[in-house]
Structure 1
């Protein structure tokens, strides 16, 4: 890097390395590691409710990582209209949903461990009872988590909207019409919607509720279950 570069360019270089390349490397590493772990945890030798919950956690984490990698590529390496539309309507809300799912699946893992340690006899009987289905018990954790995460993050589908930017005008001669035609060269971008800019929404939903849902409740739950 040239030391004579202005501070703004130094910041751009730092941002590219930190938010771009470093995020890409860490994200891909996590995605590969989780993908390798899933079939191993599903093997017959490692069959257990705890391991199947770990599989669910790995899947949610992979969804989160995929959304993060997609946005990293869009912002730092290559941007197209399709990527922007996908971010607005798919990856942005899905990233938030998968993050909440990961947090509460971790709490589910802690709860399962707490039951096994604090009530070993009852836990052993319930898990190994005739007709007991491990996936049924796992579903009892995952289904409510998934439903809650989707319901809680419904507003995320309405926080951003597409915007078309005119990059430049291009003039071409039309030999048939025998006239010059002006074309707008555009690029898709996005804006925050009115709901996302609303002060009450930002305070109560973005700040207060997310602090409680993704911070305080998980903190106290995990602290109690790991005592």
Structure 2
């Protein structure tokens, strides 16, 4: 809503008594419904097909491959032959578990709903309230486990002689599990299934936002908090940690110090490169989601105390669909980074696949 449009509408009030009685929120609502741009109209027409092919077809393929990839990653990372520090291996296993759960939830929340009318009509409304909570827990866990991977690598590379007991990574994993659940506990109650009588006088079911979670203050606070906790903090921390790791590795190579001496230190450098790949993919795939979170937070503050729904239009719906696909890709692609960056991972993965093939065909 531009200031020009709002001013024009205010000028109209002297000719229209009904408009003169409107408050600011009613005017903004009117502008949203009656002043759509050609781009908005085009995106509204494009949305059904985009949602079907991006959330339905593409996301189903991506997440299905991601489920297989994360299961294989867990098998490899639990192998004794992978030659990783227990804490680092356990954090990567935890990351794969979060991504596995997230991929399953994305299929159930978005893909099957687009591809199967029967699922959408008979099952989705009963699963959605639980899936919404689980998918947010999994995404939060994945984001902060990625940070934990970066912290572990930063300590190992930047302070190789620091002796901190991590109890197999438990000091990273347990706080993230607790935080992910507690931070998103409200998501399990935001949506509810309700019963109604349809036009054919039959009992039907649908989903709606729980009335307790529709207040403007609640929505504004959660949007702003989500922008900070799920967007700005992870981005800034990951950029800072990767800068520190990159600087430490660069100095080690330049001065031929002890970091590059011996197999163990070369292994640490390989893992630092692997982490860089994970973070780059994370930043690219989450860029749209983070941008939407920032935009939504600013719009909620600007439009206060009007409905937050005024901040969400066809452009945001369009980018939201693309974001779902990209985040699904992020949860599915880590195995390719492992394979590309680490020869030991490739070796162990090859042995596991050969063993599975032999058991299937022999």
User: So what's the TM-score if we normalise by structure 1?
Assistant: 0.79
How far apart are the structure 1 equivalents of 2:176 and 2:228?
16
Matches within 5 A, 1:74-223: 74-77=113-116, 78-88=119-129, 90-123=130-163, 126=164, 136-169=167-200, 184-205=201-222, 207-223=223-239
Q: Quote the offset at 1:224 in angstroms.
A: 1.6
Partner of 1:13: 49
Matches within 5 A, 1:56-67: 56-67=94-105
Indicate the structure with greater helix content: 2
Shift in alpha-carbon separation, 1:148–1:43, aligned structure 2, 3 A: same
Preserved CA contact (<8 Å) 2:56 2:113: no
Partner of 2:108: 70
Q: Quote the offset at 1:85 in angstroms.
A: 1.6
Partner of 1:131: none
Larger relative contact order, structure 1 or 2 (CA cutoff 8 Å, min sep 6): 2
Deviations 1:103-162 (A, max 9, x none): 110000000000001110124xx56xxxxxx7x331111110111111111111221111
How far apart are the structure 1 equivalents of 2:46 and 2:240?
46
Q: Quote the offset at 1:188 in angstroms.
A: 2.0
How far apart are the structure 1 equivalents of 2:135 and 2:47?
27
Q: Quote the offset at 1:80 in angstroms.
A: 4.9
Shift in alpha-carbon separation, 1:71–1:216, aligned structure 2, 3 A: same
Preserved CA contact (<8 Å) 1:81 1:187: no
Preserved CA contact (<8 Å) 2:133 2:184: yes
Preserved CA contact (<8 Å) 1:168 1:186: no
Q: CA RMSD in A?
A: 2.1
Q: Name whichever of 56-65 and 67-76 sits farther off.
A: 67-76
For structure 1, the 5+ residue unaligned runs are: 1-6, 128-133, 170-183
1:51 corresponds, among 47, 69, 89, to 89
Aligned to 1:121, the other structure's residue is in SS state coil
Preserved CA contact (<8 Å) 1:74 1:84: no
1:33 corresponds, among 69, 88, 91, to 69
Shift in alpha-carbon separation, 1:147–1:11, aligned structure 2, 3 A: closer
Indicate the structure with greater strand content: 1
Aligned to 1:104, the other structure's residue is in SS state helix
User: So what's the TM-score if we normalise by structure 2?
Assistant: 0.51
Preserved CA contact (<8 Å) 1:64 1:98: yes
